[in-house]
Each structure stands twice: as structure tokens, then as C-alpha cells.
């Protein structure tokens, strides 16, 4: 039996880099990894958050990935082809609750670990659906650390408008480049500054 992992972080911590490293580690040892990313972003092409079915690191590393949306049946896919050594999912905050349950059950009834990377909370401090379920079910929760502009650990995200001003209302999902989001410490999130 294997485990379900959730490696969570605020924006721009290095989640995609870490996912690409894990895929490399598996393949270097003669094993295989199935990569997925969310299909809700079409900025860069047809279907991928980080571009068109790609996982892309801010360090410049990138590779193709499958995409998932709310109708993706991970169980069916798993059982209709040779099993991968592991399943790696980027932008996992966009998984549905039932998909997380499916992946949790899959890990515990097969020998295939499932490693999910994603945001913990949105720009208002609320969880995404996938994050809520992953935080509830994952066998292994690992925080990937990044820093606020003050140097403290950044655990929260704020959304900015085109003038760089903080926005405190709007839809949970609004795809945007880094210029629209900033990872901040909790003190800045609540008080507006870091002091």
C-alpha cells in the first residue's frame, strides 16, 4: 500500500520545481511518473494552468503533462493502462472533493503513491475545494516554505489589481501571472503591513 501526499505552499514557493524533481528522481531510477496539471487556464494554449498541458518551473524547467478537470476519472485511467510508479498532480487545489477521495482510496488499495502539489488558501484565506480535502485526508502533509517581503514565512496569498492595490472581493479563481498575487506573512495579511 502507498500513501497520498499533499505538499502545499503559498504562491511562488517552488511547487512545480519540486514536482519536476520528483519525476526526474523516479525516472532516473528506471521508474515512471504520470504527471497532471489543471485544465482551467488557457492563457498559454489549450489546456494547462502552466501553459498548454505543461508543468513549468520559475527556474526555467518545463515538461508536458496530462491535464485534469472536474470530470477526470483518475481511477478509470489508472486501470486502463500500465500502472505508473507514482502519480504527480500540480495545481491540486483545483481537484474536486470526490477526486481527492478517489486518489486517497487508490493510494491505499494499490502500491502507487499519489503526490499532490497545490495552494492551501485563496486570496481571502479560504481553502480551495481540493486543498480542503487534501488537508483532511492526506497521509503526509508537508509545507513548502517561502518568504514574505519582510523575510518571515509567507503562508497567505493576496490578490492585487492592475495598479498593485490589494483586492478583497471577487471570484475565488482568477488566473493571473505573479503580478496579480503576492505571498505574504499572516501579519501582513491581517494588518496590511509586516511590522
Identify the active-site residue in 27, 91, 97, 174.
Answer: 91
Grid cell digits, residue 66: 496530462
**Whose grid coordinates read 508543468?**
55
48, 51, 127, 130: residue in contact with its own copies (rule CB under 8 A): 127
Alpha-carbon span 195 to 155, nearest angstrom: 16
β-pairing, 86-89 vs 114-119, is parallel
With beta carbons less than 8 A apart as the criterion, state whether 117 and 65 touch.
Answer: no
Contact call for residue 101 and its own copies (CB under 8 A): yes
44, 147, 166, 180: residue in contact with its own copies (rule CB under 8 A): 147
Is the CB of 31 or the CB of 69 nearer to its own copies? 31
Is the CB of 79 or the CB of 105 nearer to its own copies? 105
- Tell whether the torsion through CA atoms of 43, 23, 178 and 69 is positive or negative: positive
With beta carbons less than 8 A apart as the criterion, state whether 178 and 42 touch.
Answer: no
**Whose grid coordinates read 482510496?**
105
CA 139 to each of CA 6, 10, 31, 124, 127: distance values in angstroms, whole numbers, following the listed order:
8, 20, 22, 26, 18
For residue 174, indicate whether it is catalytic: no
Is the CB of 42 or the CB of 73 nearer to its own copies? 73
Q: Please, which of residues 65-84 interact with its own copies by CB under 8 A?
A: none
Q: Please, which of residues 8-67 interact with its own copies by CB under 8 A?
A: 12-14, 17-18, 20-22, 24-26, 28-31, 57-61
With beta carbons less than 8 A apart as the criterion, state whether 90 and 65 touch.
Answer: yes
State the residues that interact with its own copies by CB under 8 A: 1, 12-14, 17-18, 20-22, 24-26, 28-31, 57-61, 85, 101, 104-105, 107-109, 111, 113, 120-121, 125-127, 131-132, 135-137, 139, 141, 143, 146-149, 151, 153, 155, 185-187, 190-191
| Active-site residue list | 91
Amino acid at each position: 500500500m502507498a500513501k497520498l501526499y499533499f505538499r502545499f505552499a503559498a504562491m511562488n514557493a517552488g511547487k512545480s520545481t519540486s514536482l519536476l524533481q520528483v519525476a526526474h528522481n523516479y525516472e532516473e531510477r528506471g521508474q515512471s511518473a504520470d504527471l497532471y496539471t489543471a485544465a482551467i487556464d488557457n492563457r498559454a494554449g489549450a489546456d494547462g494552468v502552466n501553459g498548454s498541458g505543461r508543468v513549468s518551473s520559475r527556474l526555467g524547467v518545463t515538461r508536458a503533462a496530462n491535464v485534469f478537470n472536474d470530470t477526470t476519472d483518475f481511477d478509470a485511467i489508472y486501470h486502463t493502462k500500465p500502472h505508473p510508479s507514482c502519480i504527480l498532480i500540480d495545481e491540486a487545489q483545483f481537484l474536486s472533493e470526490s477526486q481527492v477521495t478517489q486518489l486517497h482510496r487508490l493510494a491505499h488499495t494499490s502500491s502507487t503513491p499519489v503526490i499532490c502539489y497545490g495552494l492551501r488558501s485563496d486570496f481571502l484565506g479560504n481553502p480551495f475545494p481540493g486543498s480542503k480535502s487534501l488537508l483532511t485526508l492526506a497521509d503526509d502533509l508537508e509545507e513548502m516554505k517561502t518568504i514574505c517581503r519582510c523575510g518571515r514565512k509567507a503562508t497567505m496569498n493576496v490578490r492585487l489589481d492592475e495598479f498593485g492595490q490589494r483586492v478583497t472581493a471577487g471570484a475565488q479563481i482568477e488566473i493571473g501571472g505573479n503580478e496579480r498575487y503576492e505571498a505574504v506573512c499572516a501579519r501582513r495579511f491581517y494588518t496590511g503591513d509586516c511590522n
